[in-house]
Amino acid sequence: MNSQSPSLPRLAIVVPCYNESEVFSYCLTELGGYLGRMIGDGMISPASYLLFVDDGSRDDTWRQISAATKNHAHVRGLKLSCNKGHQAALLTGLANADAIVSIDADLQDDINAIGEMVKSYVAGHDVVYGVRASRQTDTAFKRMTAEVFYRLMTMMGVKQVFNHADFRLLSSRARDALLEYHERNIYIRGLVPLVGFPSAEVYYDRRERTAGVSKYPLHKMMALALEGITSMTVMPLRIITLTGFIISAVAILAIVVVLINKMIGNPIQGWASVIVALFFMGGVQMLCLGIIGEYLGKIYLETKRRPRSHIEEKEGFGSP
Ligand code: UDP
Ligand code: MG
């Protein structure tokens, strides 16, 4: 059981925004309305609020956030100094509240699940994962790559909740625990299960993006996947060792065969097979060096212990 006070929980809904000027007003209206209804229903404290984190947008997202903080008592805004990525924006926004829900600005995730999350939190869960019951609105490509990635991560021993992205509720102690992970190479959905504490899942149907385009193009998705693997497991390095071991064993066997052939006087044919093997091995070695380099690069970046983000402006923090 978590250690919340018997009074109503103060909820913060954190929304990272990167060039979201097209969806911002919709998002504000929907989330603001929902927050108001939860307060009205006596589910959460009237001191609950929305926190928009502008992740260095180049459009007028921050101007809109800033205006919203002036017009609405329950809205706060943080502006990061430049684009640091969704994960860094989320961590920076892990607000000071009893419970924190993170949700994407495009509201593809069903906001009605937030009420369920809060109920689950009140029932004693520190982490409530929003899980997509269906992914009909995602492209077949996105569904397939997500499934392959999940299976790959499971094979490498990384615990993750299937079909869960970054729509979740964290209690304040789960938030504090998460912030104790000081790494710069961040993959929040891999870290949260490591935190432990009682957890639950809430299911919802994922919708289409209301407006604007995805801020996760293929290269960002691949970067996140790579971040996920290299931050959570060293299994690829072990696979390299194992592959190297197997190839060496085969090579020793091949040498013995070649020597025996030479001794019994059989002419060695097959220039093509030698060249193919050579190129193949060259490729495997480059790939292995690349993987090792990837981890080395991560170590290099981690040792610098650079800050994850810088807050340039804060708005609305004077409000209740
Ligand atoms: N986002 C961000 N920084 C980035 C990229 C995305 O803060 O560098 C935010 C974005 O504004 C949105 C959320 O992350 O609130 C998820 O992005 P999006 O909905 O475009 O991803 P998708 O649903 O296509 O995976
Ligand atoms: Mg989206």
Instruction: Look at ligand 1, atom 8, and give the residue with the nearest C-alpha.
Output: 85
What tens digit of pLDDT does each residue of 20-55 get? 999 999 999 999 999 999 999 999 999 999 999 999
- Candidate of 216, 220, 227 to mutate for ligand 1, largest count of ligand atoms within 8 Å of Cβ: 216
Domain borders along the chain are 11-139+162-215+306-315, 234-304
Q: How far is the CA of 21 from the centre of ligand 1 (A)?
A: 13
Give the per-residue pLDDT at 268: 66
Residue 79 φ/ψ region, left for φ over 0, alpha for ψ in the -120 to 50 degree band, beta for the rest: beta
The CB of 20 under 6 Å from ligand 1? The reply is yes
d(CA 168, CA 232): 20
Q: How far is the CA of 288 from the centre of ligand 2 (A)?
A: 34
Give the per-residue pLDDT at 1: 44
* Count of alpha carbons within 13 angstroms of residue 242, beta-carbon side: 6
Q: Is the pLDDT of residue 3 over 60?
A: no
What tens digit of pLDDT does each residue of 197-222 get? 999 999 998 888 878 888 888 888 88
Give the per-residue pLDDT at 61: 96
Give the per-residue pLDDT at 5: 45
What tens digit of pLDDT does each residue of 222-261 get? 898 998 999 889 899 989 888 888 988 888 888 888 888 8
What tens digit of pLDDT does each residue of 270-320 get? 777 787 788 888 888 888 898 999 899 899 989 988 999 999 999 998 744
Tell whether domain 11-139+162-215+306-315 is in CATH 3.90.550.10: yes
Give the per-residue pLDDT at 267: 66
> Could you identify the atom of ligand 1 that is nearest to the CA of residue 84?
8
Give the per-residue pLDDT at 87: 94
What is the pLDDT averaged over residues 84-97? 92
Give the per-residue pLDDT at 212: 82
Q: How far is the CA of 189 from the centre of ligand 1 (A)?
A: 15
Residues 6+ apart with CB under 8 A from 70: 315, 316
